[in-house]
């Protein structure tokens, strides 16, 4: 029997609650598909700081690199907001991404027909939306030097090298080849030199993919087009901060940020995590939506482990749960037959996994 080693990083806030539900679903699908998971927990974020004084202990990196994949919940919260920047949970996450070399963050935004009324946009605008945001994750203004602050001045630098743009562009084109074969590259080339380089390099790389159509769009226009006519997009290729912003926007096309999964991949290992944060305001109440994390676990099955059949089963079980009208509180107003707790939704999805 195949045995997969998974590092679980539950993190802060609702992180532990949503990871527990993903594990429930993973175990259900594993027992049906004849493989097995060995989980190993590791610390990151505020909880890691509280216990070890470091938001990213070295042990977490070591464990992660030794496993087949990492499933991650969320980090951060007001408790740690006043710490010096390098001690903050977010700094741990950024260092983690960098150390693991996960440069490509894939964030699918797919509208479930079952939740067509949950979006703030009209059903005819969003029906059939299926976007993949391919976000560069370990460069750009998040990591650029110089950066710093005094009492009078704060500064960060948006830097991209040719190599960084080339590798993320290849990812976007390869993904587009398996989808609708359209890449829209997002930048601010009318103002930023770094964006002009981005645009030029993406255009060069596109020559290797004659079957994929490439367009370019300024990020401000893209923010508008996403709500005006989201169906025009197939793959959106973005730098780090533009992708951070646009993927939150794209999530609202789908009705709740509690639905959107992501995969962060590179040469070594993949990290699978919901796109939402740790939601400290609702932590510990058992009302968080675990679907984004369960869908991230499905991406892990599909991309990291090659267990495509198992991933399909999880996706089908999520869809069935929604079409039967089971909802967490964030989606309670939208065609809910029954409002459920975090763990009830996890159990329903686990039970709906088909043989």
Cα–Cα distance measured from residue 256 to residue 328, given in angstroms and rounded to the nearest whole number: 10
Does 17 engage in binding with ligand IPM (CB under 6 A)? Answer: no
- Which residues from 244-303 bind ligand IPM, rule CB under 6 A? 244, 275, 277
Determine which one of 27, 130, 248, 335 is catalytic: 248
Q: Which does 93 bind (CB under 5 to 8 A by kind): ligand IPM, Mg ion, none?
A: ligand IPM
Does 136 engage in binding with Mg ion (CB under 5 A)? Answer: no
Pairing of the two strands 154-155 and 148-149:
antiparallel
Contact string (CB under 5 A) for Mg ion, positions 237-276, x = contact: -------x--------------------------------
Q: Which does 90 bind (CB under 5 to 8 A by kind): Mg ion, ligand IPM, none?
A: ligand IPM
Q: How many CB atoms lie within 10 A of CB 344?
A: 16
Among 93, 184, 257, 322, binds ligand IPM (CB under 6 A): 93
- Which residues from 224-253 bind ligand IPM, rule CB under 6 A? 244
165 φ, ψ to 5°?
-70, -40
Query: Closer CB to ligand IPM, residue 15 or residue 57?
Result: 15
Cα–Cα distance measured from residue 109 to residue 250, given in angstroms and rounded to the nearest whole number: 6
Cα–Cα distance measured from residue 231 to residue 225, given in angstroms and rounded to the nearest whole number: 9
Listed residue (311, 338, 308) closest to 324, CA to CA: 338
Query: Closer CB to ligand IPM, residue 164 or residue 244?
Result: 244
- Which residues from 151-210 bind ligand IPM, rule CB under 6 A? none
Looking at the chain, the number of H-run helices and the number of E-run strands are 12, 14
The least CB distance from residue 219 to ligand IPM, in Å, is 15
Structure tokens at 343: 């763990």
**Residue 352 has what DSSP assignment?**
T
28 φ, ψ to 5°?
-65, -45
Determine which one of 50, 163, 200, 220 is catalytic: 220
The least CB distance from residue 74 to ligand IPM, in Å, is 8
CA distances from 289 to 6, 145, 285 (A): 22, 37, 11
Cα–Cα distance measured from residue 7 to residue 38, given in angstroms and rounded to the nearest whole number: 8
Cα–Cα distance measured from residue 289 to residue 31, given in angstroms and rounded to the nearest whole number: 24
The least CB distance from residue 169 to ligand IPM, in Å, is 20
Residue of closest CB approach to Mg ion: 244
**Has 220 been annotated as catalytic?**
yes
Does 307 engage in binding with ligand IPM (CB under 6 A)? Answer: no
Structure tokens at 172: 């976007």
Structure tokens at 54: 């470091």
Residue of closest CB approach to ligand IPM: 90
Chain residues in the site for Mg ion (CB under 5 A):
244
Chain residues in the site for ligand IPM (CB under 6 A):
76, 90, 93, 244, 275, 277
Catalytic site positions: 142, 188, 220, 244, 248
């Amino acid at each position: 029997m195949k045995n997969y080693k998974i590092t679980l990083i539950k993190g802060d806030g609702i992180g532990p609650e949503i990871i527990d539900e993903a594990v429930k679903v993973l175990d259900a699908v594993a027992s049906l598909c004849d493989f097995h998971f060995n989980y190993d927990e590791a610390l990151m974020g505020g909880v890691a700081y509280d216990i070890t004084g470091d938001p990213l202990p070295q042990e977490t990196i070591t464990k992660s690199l030794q496993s087949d994949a990492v499933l991650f919940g969320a980090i951060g919260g007001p408790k740690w907001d006043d710490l010096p920047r390098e001690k903050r949970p977010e700094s741990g996450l950024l260092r983690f991404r960098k150390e693991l070399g996960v440069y490509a963050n894939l964030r699918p935004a797919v509208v479930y027909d079952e939740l067509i009324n949950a979006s703030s946009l009209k059903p005819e605008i969003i029906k059939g939306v299926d976007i993949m945001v391919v976000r560069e994750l370990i460069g750009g203004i998040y990591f650029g030097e110089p950066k710093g602050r005094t009492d009078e001045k704060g500064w960060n630098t948006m830097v991209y090298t040719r190599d960084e743009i080339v590798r993320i562009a290849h990812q976007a084109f390869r993904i587009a080849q398996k989808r609708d074969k359209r890449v829209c590259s997002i930048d601010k080339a009318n103002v930023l030199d770094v964006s002009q380089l981005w645009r030029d390099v993406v255009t060069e790389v596109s020559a290797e993919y004659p079957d994929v159509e490439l367009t370019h769009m300024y990020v401000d226009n893209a923010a508008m087009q996403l709500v005006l006519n989201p169906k025009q997009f197939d793959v959106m290729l973005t730098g780090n901060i533009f992708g951070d912003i646009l993927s939150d926007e794209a999530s609202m096309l789908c009705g709740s940020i509690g639905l959107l999964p992501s995969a962060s991949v590179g040469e070594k290992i993949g990290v699978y995590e919901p796109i939402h944060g740790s939601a400290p305001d609702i932590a510990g109440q058992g009302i968080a939506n675990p679907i984004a994390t369960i869908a991230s676990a499905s991406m892990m099955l599909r991309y990291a482990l090659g267990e495509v059949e198992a991933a399909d089963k999880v996706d089908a079980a999520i869809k069935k749960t929604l079409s039967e009208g089971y909802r967490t509180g964030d989606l309670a107003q939208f065609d809910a037959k029954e409002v459920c707790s975090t763990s009830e939704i996890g159990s329903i999805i686990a039970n709906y996994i088909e043989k």
